[in-house]
Chains A and B, each alone.
Chain A
Amino acid sequence: MNTKLYEYILLLADNPLILGHRLSELCGHGPSLETDIALTNISLDLFGQVRNYFQYAAQVQGLGKSEDDIAFLRYEHEYRNVIMVEQANKDFAWVIARQFFFDAYHKPLLEQLAGSNDAQLSAIAHKSLKEVQYHHHFSSEWVKRLGDGTEESHTRMQDAINHFWPYMGELFEETALEKEMKENGTGADLVAIKPVFKSFTNEIMAEAGITVPSSEWSHSGGKKGTHSEHLGFILTELQYMQRAYPNMTW
Chain B
Amino acid sequence: MKKEWPVWEVFIRSKAGLDHRHAGSIHATDARMAIENARDVYTRRQEGVSIWVVPSKEIVASDPDQSGELFEPAVDKIYRHPTFYDLPDELKHM
List A residues at the B interface (Cβ < 8 Å): 32-34, 37-38, 41, 138, 141, 145
Chain A binding surface SS class: helix
Pick the contact of B26 from A34, A41, A138, A141 — CB < 8 Å? A34
* Least CB distance, B25 to chain A, in whole angstroms: 11
Residue in A closest to B27 when the chains form the complex, CB atoms: A34
A202 to B: closest C-beta gap in Å: 22
B92 interface contact, C-beta 8 A: no
Tell me whether B37 and A38 are in contact (CB under 8 A): yes
Taken together as a complex, chains A and B put the C-alpha atoms of A145 and B29 apart, in Å, by 10
Binding site for A on B (CB under 8 A): 5, 26-29, 32-33, 36-37, 40-41, 44
Q: Which residue, of A32, A141, A145, has the highest number of chain B Cβ atoms within 10 A?
A: A32
Write out the residue numbers on chain B whose beta carbons fall within 8 Å of the beta carbon of A37: 37, 40-41
**Cα of A33 to Cα of B28 in the assembled complex, Å:** 11
CB-CB nearest 9 A-B residue pairs:
A34-B37, A38-B40, A37-B40, A41-B40, A37-B41, A34-B26, A34-B27, A34-B41, A32-B27
With the chains together, A38 CA to B27 CA distance in Å? 13
Selected A-B contacts with CB under 8 Å, 16 pairs: A32-B5, A33-B27, A34-B26, A34-B27, A34-B28, A34-B37, A34-B40, A34-B41, A37-B37, A37-B41, A38-B37, A38-B40, A41-B44, A138-B36, A141-B33, A145-B29
List the A residue with the shortest CB-CB distance to B40.
Answer: A38
